[in-house]
Structure 1
Amino acid sequence: MTTDRLWTVEDVAEYLGVPVSTIYDWRTKDYGPPGKRVGKYVRYRPHDVIDWFESLDDNAA
């Protein structure tokens, strides 16, 4: 069993260098790294966020 700490929306926003509001906006548009609801909170596995980021097209801009 892994004991890695789950990331908050704030952690994800900091890692990606975007505002917290962008993370919430992406969730409403089914975009962004996969997160899971834990009660009223959204949590992310760090490796899911990193994998999602690495999967982005470098030429998209």
Structure 2
Amino acid sequence: MRPDTAVLPPRFLRTKEAAEFLSLSARTLEKHRTYGTGPAYRKLGGRVVYSVDDLETWADRGAVTSTSDPRGSVLPAKRQTPSTGQPVGRFAR
């Protein structure tokens, strides 16, 4: 490496590294991605990557000032069938 070449911090993190960054398990982050409740992600070359800025933005959305503040909850989106729009799976009640 040349001495005048700056080493840039990673701009994108894979699922495992993103989960570590957020102090979550990779599986939890995958579930958030499936439900549409997680941070924004990109697919580069078929691989899921997360921008550090998007991870920080998502984490900041969960900031609360008291235990009664409802903003801290991230719930899964209700899944619906494409043809009928009716809830499916565990959301069908």
TM-score tier by shorter-chain length is 0.7 to 0.9
**Pairing of 1:29-48 with structure 2 (within 5 A):** 29-48=35-54
**CA RMSD of the aligned region, Å?**
1.6
Q: Give the structure 2 partner of residue 52 of structure 1.
A: 58
Gaps of 5+ in 2: 1-7, 74-93
Q: CA deviation at 1:39?
A: 2.5
Structure-2 separation of matches of 1:28 and 1:55: 19
Q: CA deviation at 1:57?
A: 4.0
- The percentage of counterpart residues that share the same residue type is 22
Structure-2 separation of matches of 1:20 and 1:53: 15
Work out which structure has the larger RCO, using CA pairs closer than 8 Å and 6 or more positions apart in sequence: 1
Q: 1:9 aligns with which of 15, 29, 51?
A: 15
Gaps of 5+ in 1: none
Q: CA deviation at 1:12?
A: 1.2
TM-score by length of 1: 0.80
TM-score by length of 2: 0.56
Structure-2 separation of matches of 1:4 and 1:42: 18
Moved >2 Å (runs of 4+):
none
Structure possessing the higher radius of gyration over alpha carbons: 2
Q: 1:22 aligns with which of 21, 28, 34?
A: 28
The one-letter amino acid paired with 1:13 is A
